[in-house]
Amino acid sequence: MNPSSPDALDKLIQAICGSAKYSQLAPSLVARVAAEELEKRGEYKAALKAARTRLHQVTGAFLAPEINYAKWSDILKSIPPENPEELQAFCRRMMRLHNSTAERLPYVDHFFQTCLADIAPINSILDLACGLNPLALPWMPLAPGCTYLACDVILPMLSFLNHFFRAASAQGEAFPCDLSSEIPRQEVQLAILLKTLPCLDQLDKSLSARLLSQIRAEHILVSYPSKSLGGREKGMRQTYSQQFARLMEGARFHVREFNFPTEMVFLLSR
Ligand SMILES: C[S@@+](CC[C@H](N)C(=O)[O-])C[C@H]1O[C@@H](n2cnc3c(N)ncnc32)[C@H](O)[C@@H]1O
């Protein structure tokens, strides 16, 4: 089969989605990575391997394997309403399942309070490539009735987050969005882009700059990891500081900077 034929691409996409892990991802992301790898490798087997590796790097690498969302939803349902302590304990347990939120847990009590102090209380949020970060909602300085929109590419996680918003009586909605093919247009007070730009860079080097200029938000909370998943520094702080400085060249944001043990954070205001 000619690798550049539509049939070859369909066959590759089907093979990728044959694995439960990748069938749960937004289809446009799978199709994009499959097409790019087929073009680059020119050969089915190598393209399949490379596409799976890349999809794992941008999505699965952060999450505990095989999360039973139905089980977590059942636990959530068993929490009596109006019991904030039990809900917070649940959120803490579940945030351990995603590396980014797990790393933030030791300082989640003051993370959002510190970074958002100057613009709180927040009326509307758009959490982009959210992972399990919406579970940190009880620690955010929100105005009553705050709208919380959240998107990512992992479909069962998004369904679970919609259960969570209902259980937490939040005005929230989680929806699938592959940022490499679409930038959400909703207008909000605060967009959140935590530890996500390095990941999106692996899909499209021009995406970070486009996101920052096209997101319709008064403020954008951006962060970068300052340690690797294994906990080592590996010069990440310096690398990402330089990357962020390049991104800000010619951009007209007022920037405030915050530092946490595993994360460097910037609050950008228009
Ligand atoms: C490093 S994690 C950060 C998660 C979260 N923002 C946090 O800091 O807690 C990167 C997230 O980006 C998501 N992601 C990867 N590619 C994406 C894409 N093309 N569009 C939207 N989300 C994507 C992954 O599923 C993952 O949840």
pLDDT in the model for residue 212: 96
Domain shared by 75 and 198, yes or no: yes
Domain membership of residue 24 (yes or no) is yes
**With a 6 A CB cut-off, is 179 part of the ligand 1 pocket?**
yes
CB atoms under 10 Å from CB of 113, counted, come to 13
Q: Which atom of ligand 1 sits closest to the CA of residue 132?
A: 9
**With a 6 A CB cut-off, is 95 part of the ligand 1 pocket?**
no
CB proximity list for 24: less than 8 A, separation 6 or greater: 154, 155, 156
Q: Are 267 and 193 in contact (CB under 8 A)?
A: no
Domain shared by 44 and 133, yes or no: no
Domain shared by 251 and 148, yes or no: yes
Domain membership of residue 145 (yes or no) is yes
Query: How far is it, in rounded angstroms, from Cα 222 to Cα 150?
Result: 15
Q: Give the residue numbers spanning the domain of 173.
A: 69-269
User: Ligand 1 centroid to 11 CA: how many Å?
Assistant: 26
Domain membership of residue 253 (yes or no) is yes
For atom 14 of ligand 1, the residue with the nearest CA is 129
**With a 6 A CB cut-off, is 124 part of the ligand 1 pocket?**
no
Q: Last residue of a domain, which of 37, 58, 79?
A: 58
CB atoms under 10 Å from CB of 167, counted, come to 16
Question: 175 - beta bridge partners?
Answer: 151
**CATH number, position 196:** 3.40.50.150
**With a 6 A CB cut-off, is 262 part of the ligand 1 pocket?**
no
pLDDT in the model for residue 231: 62
Domain membership of residue 63 (yes or no) is no
pLDDT in the model for residue 62: 81
SS3 241: helix
pLDDT in the model for residue 61: 78
Domain shared by 118 and 221, yes or no: yes
Domain shared by 50 and 117, yes or no: no
128 is written with which tokens?
Answer: 């982009």
The structural domain count of the chain equals 2
pLDDT in the model for residue 45: 93
Query: How far is it, in rounded angstroms, from Cα 63 to Cα 39?
Result: 29
Q: Are 26 and 176 in contact (CB under 8 A)?
A: yes
Domain shared by 27 and 150, yes or no: no
Domain membership of residue 228 (yes or no) is yes
Domain membership of residue 64 (yes or no) is no
pLDDT in the model for residue 240: 94
- pTM as predicted: 0.95
User: Ligand 1 centroid to 149 CA: how many Å?
Assistant: 14
Question: What are the per-10-residue average pLDDT scores of the chain (270 residues)?
Answer: 74 93 93 95 93 92 86 93 91 95 96 98 98 97 97 96 95 97 97 96 94 97 85 82 94 95 96
Domain shared by 29 and 102, yes or no: no
pLDDT in the model for residue 193: 98
Which residue among 153, 226, 265 has the greatest number of ligand 1 atoms within 8 angstroms of its CB, and so is best to mutate?
A: 153
Domain shared by 34 and 158, yes or no: no
**CATH number, position 21:** 1.10.8
